[in-house]
Amino acid sequence: MGYFVEAILPLALPQTFTYKVNKQEYDHLLPGMRIAVPFGKNRVYTALVQKMHQTPPQAYEAKEIEYILDDAPIITQTQLQHWAWISKYYMCHIGEVFKNAIPTAFLLESETWVCLSEDFTTGDESQLADDEYLLLEALQHQSALRITDITEILEKKTVLPVVNRMIKRGIVALQAEIKERYRPKMSRYVMLNHVADGEQGLVETLDGLKRAPKQYKTFLVYLDLVGDEPKPIKVSELKKITQDSGQAIKGLVKKRIFTEEMIQEDRIQYTGEAVVQPSQLNPEQELALGTIQSAFGENKVCLLHGVTSSGKTEVYVQLIKEALEKGEQVLYLLPEIALTTQLIQRLQKYFGSYLAVYHSKFNIQERAEVWQHVLECNAKAQLVIGARSSLFLPFQNLGLVIVDEEHEPSFKQHDPAPRYHARDAAIVLAKSMNAQVLLGSATPSLETYHNVLQGRYGLAEIKKRYGQVPMPDINLVDLKEQQKKKRIKGHFSEPLRLAMEGTLTEGKQIILFQNRRGFAPVMECTDCGHCPQCPNCDVSLTYHAYKRQLRCHYCGYYSAQVSKCHSCSSEALDTKGLGTEQIEQECQELFPDARVGRMDLDTTRAKHAHAKIIDQFTSGELDILVGTQMLSKGLDFKNVDLVGVLHADGILNFPDFRSHERGYQLLSQVSGRAGRHEKRGKVLIQTYNPYHQILQQVSIHDYESMQREQMYERRQHAYPPFARLIRVTFKHKDYSKLEQASEWFVQGMRNLWQDRVLGPVPPAVSRVRNQYIQVAVLKVPKGHDLATIKNSIKRIENSFNAIPYYRSVRIIFDVDPI
Ligand SMILES: Nc1ncnc2c1ncn2[C@@H]1O[C@H](COP(=O)(O)OP(=O)(O)OP(=O)(O)O)[C@@H](O)[C@H]1O
Ligand SMILES: [Zn+2]
């Protein structure tokens, strides 16, 4: 007998680990609290308590924990259960989920250094508790201490709460060198001392200050700022108004009229309060809202299928408003948050400081703060908008989840594990918390639509654009014919050039869309056909005119632009393929007076780059915006009349069973950016194959037919949504070992599931970073027990790993791959 804790470590290991604790620790600990534990040789990790128990481990001697980091759980029970589901469903380890789910700031290690805060001034030691005083004293002798040192000094394991308290009061801080940690931003505030409080007190104080005019003035400004309720005022603010160097404030503190304190500032600051009321819905929106509410009444997930610019967002806003009024938390999931400054600004006008954004490009402090707000159910982050990782926030009272643009593939995480689909994982999470789920899209995924057709999900539709603006007029331009007639300049057909000219003359704006996938420009020798390849990967290098470089998009390798062919030394090199950069250049040549901007991965790497380009375009500083799929997502520009798609075929000819569905979605979404307000927009799609059924369907906005035909195909070939897929990827740097190993593994699968196993085959890019790749796919028809099948695969993996020669081959499972 003894006391034990079951801990999840942030590592890709299949099991949890048992550690020993004493009775006192046992009583203090709860599932969801963090502890620091030793692991391996001299390493300490932040682990998470999964449960407490009294059974010693069988296989090893339990080590003691190092210390306890929390006073209360930072992860809820519901979350822990959700993690367990994710790890089971997506075939990964719970430690991987843990590591991916929580902000790195929460993974403090024993090596974290603590020091005295710069803001600390001696004087108030009398208010410190004993252990706080001890720590302070120690830090006055030594400039910094590690958490482990502090544990020794205080002779107790729960030192983090002590440290945290002192951080909050601005006495100590975490040292700056530590690579990633949570350091709340503190600011100095002053507040009226109790002595001076009350009518009488104020009069006396003012009298007493008559001979110190600067202090007198500062005091009056302070009173003016606080109004009726006594509250702390930021020193910097006070200084600014009174134009004081700080002397007057110091004087007032000295006279004990003010007390000073350090208060944590929120980095997630939205200065604006809610300024507008949600818009009045039009009858179509009202109807949709009603349908959604009745689906919610039956506890069903609901799909809002509304054409582009039908005003889906305003419907979400109504639902959010109702949920917030009920005191519930709301999660608004978006595919790529960086693209959504427009939407955030819009929601901010409605919901002010209730809105928090959870964003991977935010720094760790910012993320940790949102986490705390959500955990504490603060009004401040009652509405969270974020990309897929915001799903892992510790919601306590989740009432509503909105998955906007639910068809977007980027909801699925590719790498690293957990390879989860945020939409699907959100539905499971919501179910466990009795929250409602709304999926929104103009072009729903077939998976979701299938659920609607099966009656599992509710369906609300809006078939008209808001404000009676007609759907854009979409025309297909036959590139073959244009070529025959010699009407093409660069990559621009005559109809596209004419339409652009017309739009520019009217002072309207243009969006040009060039697909990214498979259409990066490459350099080619026109004599021998040689094309420079990445030395580490099985791909051609991409040509970047701007930097005069050849780059690999898979591993980041780059070299200077070559002037001679490496194979035959000819100087006849040419760039082939069609990138956004080239389109931008051609545009400029065709329309020298137009202001052209470009939005793609290269121009938007920096934190606010997206917002900047979008702002420029919105404010009319640009006439033409050239871009990739980024442009297709939910943007709402008032002045765009024309959308041009330069080469639709690249989108449709991709060898993937989803490429037609994707093509329809992408082209419809891009087209949807045209003519959203007032006038009907125009769209020109250039193609070598104008009779392609998907292009025909896009041009007449016929989602129905697309959906019916594609469903038929999928059913015929047993693809999702009529089956589930499990993809197994094998990687190794030795090609022949890889081939043997993957064949062995797949044979094991084939013994069980025969021809439902496809592969192993090399994928389109079959070597990345010097690792060769093989892929196999298992089709699991609906109705088969997925859990049993996964267990069988795991068993094959175990036997596989028992063969020493194979063990170094990396195996990756991807359930519901996209
Ligand atoms: N009830 C309403 N009152 C006033 N304006 C509205 C209303 N509904 C929608 N709008 C306006 O119509 C435009 C399109 O709406 P919104 O962006 O919500 O469409 P959407 O369906 O989300 O489009 P997409 O799928 O293309 O992103 C916006 O500028 C929005 O402000
Ligand atoms: Zn490479």
Q: What is the CATH number of the domain that holds 552?
A: 2.20.28
Residue 526 reports pLDDT greater than 70: yes
The answer to whether the CB of 9 falls within 8 A of the CB of 39 is yes
Count Cα atoms within 13 angstroms, Cβ side, for 321: 18
Q: What percent of the chain has pLDDT over 70?
A: 90
Ligand 1 pocket residue status of 309, Cβ below 6 Å: yes
Specify the DSSP class assigned to residue 146.
E
Note the maximum CA span of the chain: 96
Least confident of 37-41, 363-367, 411-415: 363-367
Ligand 1 pocket residue status of 310, Cβ below 6 Å: yes
Per-residue pLDDT reduced to its tens digit, 65-113? 987 888 899 999 999 999 999 999 999 999 999 999 987 667 766 667 7
What b-and-e string marks burial along 191-204, b requiring 16 or more CB atoms within 10 Å of the CB?
A: bbbeebeeeeeeee
**Arithmetic mean of pLDDT, 615-636:** 84
* Same-domain check for residues 551 and 675: no
Structural domain range at position 769: 723-815
Alpha carbon distance 31, 395 (integer Å): 16
Q: Residue 9 phi/psi, 5° resolution?
A: -100, 150
The response to whether 568 counts as a known ligand-binding position is: yes
136 part of a folded domain: no
Q: Helix H segments across 596-731?
A: 609-618, 649-652, 659-671, 693-699, 703-716
468 part of a folded domain: no
**Arithmetic mean of pLDDT, 326-344:** 85
Band (pLDDT 50/70/90 cuts) for residue 582 is confident
What b-and-e string marks burial along 13-33, b requiring 16 or more CB atoms within 10 Å of the CB?
A: eeebbbbbbeeebbeebebbb
pLDDT given for residue 614 in this prediction: 84
Centre of ligand 1 from the C-alpha of residue 677, in Å: 9
pLDDT given for residue 201 in this prediction: 76
The answer to whether the CB of 811 falls within 8 A of the CB of 796 is no
Centre of ligand 1 from the C-alpha of residue 407, in Å: 19
**Arithmetic mean of pLDDT, 607-631:** 83
The response to whether 528 counts as a known ligand-binding position is: yes
**Arithmetic mean of pLDDT, 40-60:** 87
**Arithmetic mean of pLDDT, 44-61:** 91
Alpha carbon distance 72, 65 (integer Å): 17
Residue 203 reports pLDDT greater than 70: yes
Band (pLDDT 50/70/90 cuts) for residue 418 is very high
Residue 89: which of 649, 802, 789 has the closest Cα?
A: 789
Question: Which has the higher per-residue pLDDT, 200 or 18?
Answer: 18
Residue of the nearest CA to atom 7 in ligand 1? 311
Q: Helix H segments across 90-211?
A: 94-101, 130-141, 147-154, 160-168, 198-208
Ligand nearest to C-alpha 289: 1
Pairing between strand 473-478 and 682-687? Answer: parallel
Question: Which has the higher per-residue pLDDT, 520 or 11?
Answer: 11
Ligand 1 pocket residue status of 443, Cβ below 6 Å: no
**Arithmetic mean of pLDDT, 130-137:** 88
Rg (CA), the chain: 31
Ligand 1 pocket residue status of 282, Cβ below 6 Å: yes
Alpha carbon distance 609, 576 (integer Å): 28
Per-residue pLDDT reduced to its tens digit, 269-301? 444 456 678 889 999 999 999 999 999 999 999
* CB neighbour list of residue 31: distance below 8 Å, 6 or more residues apart: 49, 50, 51, 52, 73, 75, 77, 80
Type and span of the H or E element at 50: strand 43-53
The answer to whether the CB of 498 falls within 8 A of the CB of 510 is no
160 part of a folded domain: no
Alpha carbon distance 338, 352 (integer Å): 19
**Arithmetic mean of pLDDT, 459-467:** 95
Alpha carbon distance 329, 435 (integer Å): 9
Residue 787: which of 95, 85, 93 has the closest Cα?
A: 85
Return the bridge partners of 585, or none: none
pLDDT given for residue 548 in this prediction: 78
pLDDT given for residue 524 in this prediction: 78
Residue 463 reports pLDDT greater than 60: yes
Question: Which has the higher per-residue pLDDT, 633 or 22?
Answer: 22
Indicate which CATH number applies to the domain containing 39.
3.40.1440.60
Pairing between strand 436-441 and 398-404? Answer: parallel
The response to whether 531 counts as a known ligand-binding position is: no
pLDDT given for residue 331 in this prediction: 98
68 part of a folded domain: yes
Per-residue pLDDT reduced to its tens digit, 650-705? 788 777 899 899 999 999 999 998 888 888 999 999 999 999 999 999 999 999 99
pLDDT given for residue 269 in this prediction: 44
Ligand 1 pocket residue status of 469, Cβ below 6 Å: no
**Arithmetic mean of pLDDT, 360-375:** 78
pLDDT given for residue 270 in this prediction: 43
**Arithmetic mean of pLDDT, 332-343:** 79
Work out which ligand 1 atom sits closest to the CA atom of 405.
Answer: 25
Residue of the nearest CA to atom 23 in ligand 1? 309
* Same-domain check for residues 405 and 494: no
Residue 438 reports pLDDT greater than 80: yes
ipTM of the complex: 0.96
Q: Which residue has the tokens 């001890």?
A: 134
Ligand 1 pocket residue status of 636, Cβ below 6 Å: yes
Ligand nearest to C-alpha 551: 2
Q: Residue 478 phi/psi, 5° resolution?
A: -80, 110
* Same-domain check for residues 377 and 444: yes
Ligand 1 pocket residue status of 740, Cβ below 6 Å: no
The response to whether 552 counts as a known ligand-binding position is: yes
* Same-domain check for residues 200 and 313: no
Ligand 1 pocket residue status of 110, Cβ below 6 Å: no
Ligand 1 pocket residue status of 637, Cβ below 6 Å: no
Going from the C-alpha of 97 to that of each of 17, 142, 368, 673, the distances in angstroms are 16, 38, 17, 37
* Number of domains present in the structure of the chain: 6
486 part of a folded domain: yes
Indicate which CATH number applies to the domain containing 511.
3.40.50.300
Indicate which CATH number applies to the domain containing 746.
3.30.70.600
Domain end, chosen from 713, 731, 760, is at 713
503 part of a folded domain: yes
* Same-domain check for residues 494 and 586: yes
Ligand nearest to C-alpha 307: 1
* Same-domain check for residues 585 and 573: no
Ligand nearest to C-alpha 279: 1
Residue 267 reports pLDDT greater than 50: no
Band (pLDDT 50/70/90 cuts) for residue 492 is very high
Specify the DSSP class assigned to residue 745.
H
172 part of a folded domain: no
* Same-domain check for residues 527 and 623: no
Residue 646: which of 495, 508, 541 has the closest Cα?
A: 495
The answer to whether the CB of 461 falls within 8 A of the CB of 315 is no
Alpha carbon distance 223, 246 (integer Å): 17
* Same-domain check for residues 430 and 568: no
Ligand 1 pocket residue status of 627, Cβ below 6 Å: no
Least confident of 161-170, 298-307, 395-404: 161-170
Q: Is 86 helix (H, G, I), strand (E, B) or coil?
A: helix
Alpha carbon distance 251, 680 (integer Å): 67
Band (pLDDT 50/70/90 cuts) for residue 351 is very high
- Is the preceding omega at residue 416 within 30 degrees of 0, hence cis? yes
Band (pLDDT 50/70/90 cuts) for residue 307 is very high
pLDDT given for residue 176 in this prediction: 43
Domain end, chosen from 713, 745, 776, is at 713
Residue 234 reports pLDDT greater than 90: no
* CB neighbour list of residue 617: distance below 8 Å, 6 or more residues apart: 509, 597, 625, 637
* Same-domain check for residues 335 and 479: no
* Same-domain check for residues 661 and 596: yes
Alpha carbon distance 525, 723 (integer Å): 45
* Same-domain check for residues 539 and 600: no
344 part of a folded domain: yes
Alpha carbon distance 238, 216 (integer Å): 13
The answer to whether the CB of 810 falls within 8 A of the CB of 769 is no
Centre of ligand 1 from the C-alpha of residue 347, in Å: 12
pLDDT given for residue 179 in this prediction: 35
Structure tokens at 310: 């039908």
CA angle, 479 then 480 then 482, to 5°: 60
pLDDT given for residue 314 in this prediction: 96
The response to whether 537 counts as a known ligand-binding position is: yes
pLDDT given for residue 177 in this prediction: 34
Mean pLDDT of the chain: 87
Per-residue pLDDT reduced to its tens digit, 760-778? 999 888 899 899 999 999 9
Residue 332: which of 296, 375, 386, 372 has the closest Cα?
A: 386
pLDDT given for residue 114 in this prediction: 82
The answer to whether the CB of 730 falls within 8 A of the CB of 462 is no
Torsion of CA 292, 295, 300, 303, to 10 degrees: -40
Q: What percent of the chain has pLDDT over 90?
A: 52
Residue of the nearest CA to atom 9 in ligand 1? 311
Type and span of the H or E element at 346: helix 341-351
Residue of the nearest CA to atom 3 in ligand 1? 279
pLDDT given for residue 223 in this prediction: 83
Ligand nearest to C-alpha 638: 1
Of 277, 308, 309, which is best to mutate to test ligand 1, by the most ligand atoms within 8 angstroms of its C-beta? 309
Ligand 1 pocket residue status of 673, Cβ below 6 Å: no
- Sequence length of the chain is 818
Ligand 1 pocket residue status of 743, Cβ below 6 Å: no
Q: Which residue has the tokens 């955990």?
A: 375
Work out which ligand 1 atom sits closest to the CA atom of 285.
Answer: 1
Residue of the nearest CA to atom 4 in ligand 1? 279
**Arithmetic mean of pLDDT, 578-594:** 87
Ligand 1 pocket residue status of 318, Cβ below 6 Å: no
**Arithmetic mean of pLDDT, 605-619:** 77
* Same-domain check for residues 636 and 510: yes
